[in-house]
Amino acid sequence: MTSSRTDRARGLRQTSGRAEERVWAVLRGAKVEGHKFRRQHPAGPYFADFACDRLRLIIEIDGGVHWLDEVAARDVQRQQALEALGWTVIRVTNDQVFEAPEFLVEAVKTHAQRLNG
């Protein structure tokens, strides 16, 4: 029997948007320097759009709804909570995903280099 968190993560993966699908195509299969990412990965009480445990790195994809004041305020609280758990959070807009997907690869590489000294 699966847990409700597993079911929730599965549901989120199945309803992902175009931007998330594009990001997953870039990250899946450890394509970025061998770093394994997971989609809708549980992190504390939240589900990260994409997370790499080894790097303690979360990538969040923000669509237009994230510009709304109440959503932006929740995003700040959520990010602070994730950072308190030891994660680094990179936020990327849908537009950035489609206009400059290489930004993600460079951001992951930069974060990994910082960790490795």
| Parallel/antiparallel/unpaired status of strands 38-43 and 88-93 | unpaired
Residue 72 pLDDT class (50, 70, 90 cuts) = confident
- CA atoms of 66 and 71, how far apart (whole Å): 5
Residue 38 neighbours by CB distance under 10 Å: 16
pLDDT at 53 over 90: yes
pTM over 0.75: yes
Angle of the 18-27 helix axis to the 102-115 helix axis, nearest 10: 50
Number of helices (H) and strands (E) in the chain: give both, helices first.
5, 4
Q: What are phi and psi of 110, to 5 degrees?
A: -65, -45
